[in-house]
Amino acid sequence: MNNKILTHQHTSKKLVGEIVELNFNEAKVKLVTNKDMCVDDYNLIHGGFVFGLADYAAMLAVNKPTVVLGKSEVKFLKPVQLGDKLFAIAKIEKETLEVKNVKTDVFNQNNEIVFTGNFKCYVLKKHVLVKNKNI
């Protein structure tokens, strides 16, 4: 990895993914699906975990301490099952000082795209939960 992680340092590797690569304006994150993510007897993985992986990769592509997601447009393209190994690749496509548009694709172990999304990320002047300017 070429960059220091500046955002989302306490993210769960088990639920959202683990950083594989972090470069300027792009990130690659992997997630191995597990039983806790299943929603039925067919071992279908809940889409929220796939979205979480993609969102985490987008946040890392921006890699600013105060980055938050403002909007997303996503498509789920293929089902994900227990044991699938997913890889999210996120790249900033357009940016201003405060707004970053990040394209994120998620692939399975067979290199099939299972999810694609565009994430509008905002870099705030202070942490979203900080109310007092003196903190």
For residue range 24-58, list pLDDT tens digits in order.
999 999 999 999 999 999 999 999 999 999 999 99
Give domain status of residue 133, yes or no: no
Q: What is the pTM of this model?
A: 0.94
Q: Which domain holds residue 41?
A: 18-123
Domain total of the chain: 1
Give domain status of residue 26, yes or no: yes
Q: How many CB atoms lie within 10 A of CB 62?
A: 25
The pLDDT-based confidence of 5 (bands split at 50, 70, 90) is very high
Q: In the prediction, which pLDDT does 1 show?
A: 60
Give domain status of residue 45, yes or no: yes
Q: What is the pLDDT of residues 96-105, one digit of tens each?
A: 999 999 999 9
Q: Which two tokens stand for residue 41?
A: 């007897």
Give domain status of residue 119, yes or no: yes
Q: Rounded to an integer, what distance in angstroms lies between the CA atom of residue 103 and that of residue 10?
A: 23
In order, the DSSP letters of 60-71 are: HHH--TTEEEEE
Give domain status of residue 4, yes or no: no
Q: Which amino acid is residue 105, in one-letter code?
A: D
Give domain status of residue 10, yes or no: no
Give domain status of residue 129, yes or no: no
Q: Rounded to an integer, what distance in angstroms lies between the CA atom of residue 42 and that of residue 56?
A: 26
Give domain status of residue 11, yes or no: no
CATH number, domain with residue 55: 3.10.129.10
